[in-house]
Amino acid sequence: MFQKLLIANRGEIAVRIERACAELGIRSVAIYTEPDRFALHVKRADEAYQVGDDPLEGYLDPRRLVDLARETGCDAIHPGYGFLSENADFAHICEQAGIAFVGPSAEVIARMGDKTAARSAMRDAGVPVTPGSEGNLADCAAALEEAGRIGYPVMLKATSGGGGRGIRRCDSPDQLEQAWERVVSEATKAFGSADVFLEKCVVDPHHIEVQILADKHGSVIHLFERDCSIQRRNQKLIEIAPSPQLTPEQRAYVGELGVRAAKAVGYENAGTVEFLVKGNEIYFMEMNTRVQVEHTITEAITGVDIVREQLRIASGHKLSFRQEDIHYHGFAIQFRINAEDPKNDFLPSFGRITRYYAPGGPGVRTDTAIYTGYQIPPYFDSLCLKLVVWGLSWEETLDRGIRALNDMRLQGVKTTAPYYEEILRHADFRRGHFDTGFVPAHPELLQYSVKRNPEEAALVIAAAIAAHAGL
């Protein structure tokens, strides 16, 4: 097992990795830039080092991070998610330096990061993919010709895209022409590549992803699926495991497809294979070559510590489980509690947290890096915490989710929590009848009213007075 590990990330995922390291007896090394000087992941690590004053630059410099790992005696680096987690150059530099990269090889990251190459690999492996262009599109004229062949609506996507960026739905030739320059520009700025491709738009599908684990000894297993259909503008809000909408036959089939996809590309470590499901049609969408934000709910239903397995696999150990050892129990839901105002088009609500109280009780878990008095910096994403609830039945899980959301106290910033309560109360959601079109189809859920008790109202007023006085 590793002796010392550098965590090339921040926030709640860095704290999550530090906890796994502590259980395995691995010393953890945190990094931070000036805005994160007082962050929780810095406080909890065995060692912490500043990597620059610029808010982002230090988290995005692979050579600097590898040099720091060598200087501090680390034998491994965990990239978490986001930042450099799917950067093939980072993995390659780690390999050259003799430092274990907790993830797949640089070659696999590069191959799966190229959406057209990934689609080609899946076709060769017999994994169904959505109809679309065979490769990257040369220009808008080629896109129009391809769209005419497969039929509208279509999705114009950045080949190196991810996280909901570099993607546009086009319902007509006019929309495709208008979207072309925007997608190319966004892809170039966000991913450093102007390459784009086209695929058939599957209207309002279920977004299903399969969690896989693969070791260096040829073993690949899946940990069942997650339903990520509750999303806004391709950004996930609520995730569920397992999907309450799949039949047992579909569950077995999509799990087998996930394993087949991983084996086809020689995958190692933890990864996620994402699919679009519409009726009996199942299409490969992409593969995420890292730990997912929503790995928590898979842990809740299977009892498998995914981050712990990541560290064991990267150090050369065999998987702790065989496929026949993996079973799921009950349902789990993860809520991404973001510092955003749903009533104001989900505008970010950065600022100081004046009060934070985490919900608890049976079947409740919180993954976070915030605390009372913490200043949410405006340079990163708006995630405050991940609230996870588990229950034996779907109904119990829904009721527990409402209770936990209501128990939580997070003041000083606006959050998405009250909006999620409305979703959990909706009759269609409670019946398990939802897809990727659920959020835009129900704008009335944004008409909720925020209830405050007298104590909370007093705290809000006191915080406003303190802020005005510069305290």
Phi-psi category of residue 269: left, alpha or beta, with phi > 0 → left and psi -120 to 50 → alpha: left
Amino acid at 233: R
Same domain, 70 and 189: no
Contact criterion met (CB below 8 Å) for 386 and 368: yes
Cis peptide before 55 (omega within 30 of 0): no
Same domain, 89 and 236: no
Residue 114 is assigned to a structural domain of this protein: no
CATH number at residue 143: 3.30.1490.20
Residue 467 is assigned to a structural domain of this protein: no
Tally of structural domains, the chain: 3
> Residue 159's domain spans which residues?
131-200
pLDDT of the residue at 187: 87
CA distance 31 to 283: 39
Residue 362 is assigned to a structural domain of this protein: yes
Same domain, 251 and 345: yes
CA distance 339 to 330: 29
Same domain, 216 and 184: no
pLDDT of the residue at 1: 92
* b/e burial code for range 418-456 (CB count within 10 A of at least 16 → b): bbbbbbbeeeebbeeebbbebbeeeeebeeeeeeeeeee
Residue 470 is assigned to a structural domain of this protein: no
Q: What is the pLDDT along the chain (471 residues), one digit of tens a residue?
A: 999 999 999 999 999 999 999 999 999 999 999 999 999 999 999 999 999 989 999 999 999 999 999 999 999 999 999 999 999 999 999 999 999 999 999 999 999 999 889 999 999 999 999 999 988 999 999 999 999 999 999 999 998 877 677 889 999 999 999 999 999 998 888 888 889 999 999 999 999 999 999 999 999 999 999 999 999 998 999 999 999 999 999 999 999 999 999 999 999 999 999 999 999 999 999 999 999 999 999 999 999 999 999 999 999 999 999 999 999 999 999 999 999 999 999 999 999 999 999 999 999 999 999 999 999 999 999 999 999 999 999 999 999 999 999 999 999 999 999 999 999 999 999 999 999 999 999 999 999 987 655 555 555 555 556 555 555
Same domain, 356 and 431: yes
Q: Tell me which of 148, 167, 200 is where a domain ends.
A: 200
Same domain, 193 and 338: no
Phi/psi at 73 (nearest 5 deg)?
A: 80, 25
Instruction: Give the angle 198-200-205 at the CA atoms, nearest 5°.
Output: 130
Same domain, 357 and 419: yes
Same domain, 192 and 210: no
Instruction: Name the nearest CA neighbour of 453 among 415, 412, 409.
Output: 409
Q: What is the largest CA-CA distance in the chain?
A: 65
Assess whether 70 carries a catalytic annotation: no
Cis peptide before 242 (omega within 30 of 0): yes
Residue 112 is assigned to a structural domain of this protein: no
Find the length of the chain: 471
CA distance 296 to 19: 14
Instruction: Name the nearest CA neighbour of 331 among 436, 426, 401.
Output: 401
Instruction: Give the angle 419-348-294 at the CA atoms, nearest 5°.
Output: 60
Same domain, 322 and 437: yes
Residue 119 is assigned to a structural domain of this protein: no
3-state secondary structure the chain: CCCEEEECCCHHHHHHHHHHHHHHCCEEEEEECHHHCCCHHHHHCCEEEECCCCCCHHHHCHHHHHHHHHHCCCCEEECCCCCCCCCHHHHHHHHHHCCEECCCCHHHHHHHHCHHHHHHHHHHCCCCECCECCCCCCCHHHHHHHHHHHCCCEEEEEEEEECCEEEEEECCHHHHHHHHHHHHHHHHHHHCCCCEEEEECCCCCEEEEEEEEECCCCCEEEEEEEEEEEEECCEEEEEEECCCCCCHHHHHHHHHHHHHHHHHCCCCEEEEEEEEEECCEEEEEEEECCCCCCHHHHHHHHCCCHHHHHHHHHCCCCCCCCHHHCCCCCEEEEEEEECEEHHHCCEECCCECCEEECCCCCCEEEEECCCCCCECCCCCCCEEEEEEEEECCHHHHHHHHHHHHHHCEEECCCCCHHHHHHHHHCHHHHCCCCCCCHHHHCHHHHHCCCCCCHHHHHHHHHHHHHHHHCC
Residue 111 is assigned to a structural domain of this protein: no
Instruction: Report pTM.
Output: 0.91
Same domain, 235 and 288: yes
The active-site residue out of 290, 312, 336, 365 is 290
Same domain, 274 and 419: yes
Same domain, 258 and 367: yes
Q: Tell me which of 156, 182, 200 is where a domain ends.
A: 200
CATH number at residue 13: 3.40.50.20
Residue 110 is assigned to a structural domain of this protein: no
